[in-house]
Amino acid sequence: MATLRAILLIAALQVRVMIKSVRFAACLLMAIIPAAIALGAGGLADAGKLAGGLSLMLLMFSAPLVGLLLGSVVIAEEVEGRTITFFFTRPIHRAALFLGRWLAVSFVASCLMGGSAAAITYGSSHATFREAKPQLEWALEVKRGGRWRPSRVERTRVAAYHGEDGRWHRLRISHLQPGEIKDLPQNENGHAQRIKARKFIPQTLDLAPGFGWLLALAASLGAVLYTIITASLSIFVKRPMIFGLAYAYAVEGILVLLPGSTQSLSVQHYLRSLLVDAKQPMWMPVFEDAEFLSRSDACLHLVVVGTALLAAGCWAVTRKQFVLTS
């Protein structure tokens, strides 16, 4: 009981110190960026497309970076500041100090990721700053053999087409009404071309049931696991951020693209298994052929791996002899 009380007191103290640091401000910015995009772009695109893209940004960019930045507070910050000896001469077990500081950074990381996930969910499914207008479906038509043939059909507000010089040109067409035609210059092959407005498609502001809770869970678990990785690495290496960044953005970036069971070596595979349902329309264009674990299995894997790494970190920190070099 005394050890648990010590862990909680250390965690509370570390939280108060951490929220006043520049490191916390950087992590707050990483959480705000996708949330601000969602709140600002709500109503400009279908909720599923907007939320899907921003949720992947949160899982693949913000969560790892926040976890790595905060995880280095546990041990690496004391080593770099050459205060590690004072830190470990206090009459508290080393593992308790390690767990208390880790608990603090995990709490902060979870709050940041949970808040960002909530803002993404709300911003994507609500037109906060504008009226949700329907999207215009239009076709780029090219005249061949005396007949107009559609080259492609899109729903963007700006049309891109090839001009006579072979370069891409852009034209804003959001003002067109269904049935209207906008003539364009000939393309590089000398064929006449035009933009034909087809119909308005109502904006969809509905998300899959439970999307917000799943995103908050996946982002929070991901950030917490990355804090454990960095905290454990900092026991053995002086610059854990370098190794953590290399794993999170280089190694995992390759692993998630490889087929088969190789993906199971990456944290992102389990986070996506928690969030993504490939049968839902919002995920089909990206993960139609992907294979994921069930959500319960993915959550179990993350908890087991995180617990094992945390236990290994506690064991190592009690036996590590920290030598400060000049």
What integer pLDDT is reported at residue 299 of this predicted model? 93
On whether the CB atoms of residues 161 and 193 are closer than 8 A, the answer is: yes
pLDDT in tens, 161-208: 888 888 888 888 878 888 888 888 888 888 889 888 888 776 666 677
Q: Are 132 and 43 in contact (CB under 8 A)?
A: yes
Mean pLDDT of the chain: 83
Confirm if 202 and 192 have CB atoms less than 8 A apart. no
Looking at residues 220-247, what average pLDDT do you find? 88
Q: How far, in Å, CA of 190 to CA of 179, rounded?
A: 25
The closest alpha carbon to 284, from 184, 208, 196, belongs to 208
DSSP 42: B
Would strands 193-201 and 181-184 be described as parallel, antiparallel, or unpaired? antiparallel
pTM for the predicted model, two decimal places: 0.77
pLDDT band at 221 (very low <50, low <70, confident <90, very high): very high
Instruction: Give CA–CA dist 196/141, Å, rounded.
Output: 7
- Distance separating alpha carbons of residues 260 and 300, to the nearest angstrom: 20
Task: Please tell me the distance from the alpha carbon of residue 254 to that of residue 249, in angstroms, as a whole number.
Answer: 9
pLDDT at 116: 95
Helix, strand, coil shares, percent, the chain, to 5: 60, 15, 30
The structure tokens listed for 45 are 């695109």
Give the integer Cα–Cα distance in Å for 223 and 115: 13
The 10 Å CB-count burial string (b at 16+, else e) for 288-323 is eeeebbebeebbebbeeebeebbeebbebbeeeeee
Structure tokens belonging to residue 141:
């038509």
The answer, yes or no, to whether residue 3 has pLDDT greater than 60, is: yes
Three-point CA angle 320, 323, 324, nearest 5°: 140
Q: What is the largest CA-CA distance in the chain?
A: 89
Q: How many Cα neighbours within 13 Å face the side chain of 54?
A: 35
pLDDT of residue 206: 67
Percent of the chain with pLDDT over 70: 86
Cα–Cα distances (Å) from 188 to 163, 167, 173, 191, 195, in that order, read 6, 8, 22, 8, 17
pLDDT digits (tens, 9 = 90+) for 126-151: 765 555 567 778 888 888 888 888 88
Question: Residue 214: what pLDDT?
Answer: 92
